[in-house]
Amino acid sequence: MSRRMLFVLAVTCGVAVGNIYFPQALVPLIATGLGTSSDGATLAVSATQIGYAGGIFLLVPLGDRLPHRRLLLALLGLTGFGLLLAGCARNLPLLVAGSVLVGLTTVGAQVIGPLAAGLVEDHRRAAVLGTLLSGSVGGMILARAFSGTLGEWFGWRVPYLAAAVLVFVLLAVLSRMLPYTSPRSREHYPSLLGESLRLLFTEPELRRSCLYQAAVFAGFSAVWTTLAILLTGPVYGLGTSAVGLFALVGGVTACCTPLAGGWVDRQGPDPVNLVCMFGVLVSAAVLAGGAHGDRIGLLALIIGTLLLDVAMQCGMVANQARVYALRPERRSRLNTAYMTCAYLGGSAGSWIGSHVYDLFGWSGVWVRGPAHHSGPAPPPADAPCSKTGSGSLLGGGRLGNVPTATVNIRPARVHDAHALGEIHVAS
């Protein structure tokens, strides 16, 4: 495989993966634009991830049955149509429908992975996968950054339409560059789907990788889905463009994944996974500090999300390398089982994260159980207090230009008397 081909495939991975993540920075704008709640707007994020899990399970196995070129080009065309549908949606149901179609078909990275694994020597496989994952990580980061900025300047629809244009440009480029490959399997489609499920039961190493990645990705999605709500809310008062710039901090992850790939080639996946699990635990403790606001809280969010991004993506490299090494003739079906589990965990994390945030705030996303009982008791219902905040990101006081507001604090619901309470802001 030439460097030029690897670069184009990495860019394609980035665009495909970016389509899953850029709606996360648009949740507040979608809620305002469509006149719905943050919970309702979060459905666009969850629908994309659920559709993605469905696309991995239903469409990626075709990579063992159909030529990769034909399959990838068809998926890109359908993804572009789905982005246009979502960008032109006039109501939430139509946006959710477009989001499902985008998620279902933007699985190009999962088709490219097995394709690239079959085009390189065994001793280069993890390094090439690390490069492709760097493209995916770069797409994820840039998608959040530019969608937040474009959304704040021009409205939430523009990022969807811009993504559609980019997909159609890639479709034209790849139609001239992709090599023709022969499928490795002649099994019928129902048999391919059933094989993905059977592999989960017959391959313990696959199950282990699936369990680890689903758990980590659930926490990852919970954080990034609720982060935009936290940063644009009264605690920080930042705009969605700041949310996008915040995502650029994770750019270091794109540098770490090729290094992780080389480490896996030399030492195997287990040492990398061990370090990644430790990184996730540390990030959980650090991220909880983001609930405090001000510059200390912002620093905690930056460090915590950086640790989480690095741990999640490097763990992905290690687990994919292990999965692809199990049965070379079944790489697409192995990848189907692995990535379906991972993104089901991610979609569950997005949904759970938004609901936990509504109940307990940012700390509730990461800190549960005893942590809810360690703080001070909530004030009585008839004891409202006022708190104002204004300033800038570099100045003292609150972060962002937060308008003067009255904050009414009342006890939490009866079923959790020790929770931190509910905060309602009235201008």
Angle, nearest 10°, between helix axes 204-232 and 38-58? Answer: 160
Average pLDDT over residues 51-71: 85
Q: Which of 271, 268, 337, 349 is nearest to 308 (CA)?
A: 349
Residue 380: its pLDDT value, please? 34
The answer to which of 54-68, 181-195, 409-423 has the lowest mean pLDDT is 409-423
pLDDT band at 254 (very low <50, low <70, confident <90, very high): low
Q: Which of 395, 392, 426, 396 is nearest to 409 (CA)?
A: 426
pLDDT band at 27 (very low <50, low <70, confident <90, very high): confident
pLDDT band at 381 (very low <50, low <70, confident <90, very high): very low
DSSP state of 42: H
338, pLDDT greater than 80: yes
363 vs 162, higher pLDDT: 162
16, pLDDT greater than 90: yes
Residue 88: its pLDDT value, please? 92
Average pLDDT over residues 233-254: 73
CA torsion angle 131 203 16 53 (round to 10): -160
Average pLDDT over residues 355-369: 67
The answer to which of 47-61, 233-247, 285-299 has the lowest mean pLDDT is 233-247
The percent of residues in the chain predicted with pLDDT above 90, rounded, is 15
**Domain coordinates in residue numbering, the chain:** 3-365, 372-427
Q: What are phi and psi of 388, to 5 degrees?
A: -115, 160
Mean of all residue pLDDT scores within the chain: 77
In contact, 240 and 152? CB cutoff 8 Å = yes
Asked if CATH classification 3.90.1200.10 holds for the domain at 3-365, the reply, yes or no, is no
Average pLDDT over residues 212-239: 82
- Cα separation, 381 vs 411, whole angstroms: 6
Residue 123: its pLDDT value, please? 66
Q: Which two tokens stand for residue 271?
A: 């040492």
pLDDT band at 250 (very low <50, low <70, confident <90, very high): low
In contact, 344 and 265? CB cutoff 8 Å = no
The answer to which of 62-76, 143-157, 317-331, 365-379 has the lowest mean pLDDT is 365-379
What sign has the CA pseudo-torsion 328, 214, 291, 21?
positive
Q: Which residues contact 94 (CB under 8 A, 6 or more apart)?
A: 85, 86
Average pLDDT over residues 263-286: 83
Burial class (CB in 10 A: 0-12, 13-18, 19+), 417: exposed
246, pLDDT greater than 80: no
Burial class (CB in 10 A: 0-12, 13-18, 19+), 343: buried
Q: Which two tokens stand for residue 54?
A: 């469905």
Report the Cα–Cα distance between both ends of the chain, in Å, rounded.
59
360, pLDDT greater than 80: no
Q: Which of 314, 19, 321, 268 is nearest to 161 (CA)?
A: 19
24, pLDDT greater than 90: no
102, pLDDT greater than 80: yes
Residue listed under structure tokens 């184009």: 8
The answer to which of 100-109, 191-200, 383-392 has the lowest mean pLDDT is 383-392
Residue 83: its pLDDT value, please? 96
Residue 188: its pLDDT value, please? 79
Average pLDDT over residues 167-196: 82
The count of residues in the chain is 427
Q: Which two tokens stand for residue 328?
A: 């070379």
78, pLDDT greater than 80: yes
The C-alpha angle with vertex 320 and arms to 270 and 104, in degrees rounded to 5, equals 145
Computed on alpha carbons and rounded to an integer, the radius of gyration of the chain in Å comes to 22
Residue 13: its pLDDT value, please? 93
pLDDT band at 15 (very low <50, low <70, confident <90, very high): very high
- Cα separation, 286 vs 288, whole angstroms: 6
249, pLDDT greater than 80: no
Q: Which of 231, 3, 242, 199 is nearest to 120 (CA)?
A: 3
Alpha-helical segments (H) within 325-391: 331-360, 362-366
Q: What are phi and psi of 405, to 5 degrees?
A: -145, 155
190, containing H or E segment: helix 189-202
DSSP state of 237: -
pTM for the model? 0.66
pLDDT in tens, 296-305: 888 888 888 8
426, pLDDT greater than 60: no
What sign has the CA pseudo-torsion 215, 218, 222, 224?
positive
In contact, 326 and 319? CB cutoff 8 Å = no
Residue 425: its pLDDT value, please? 33
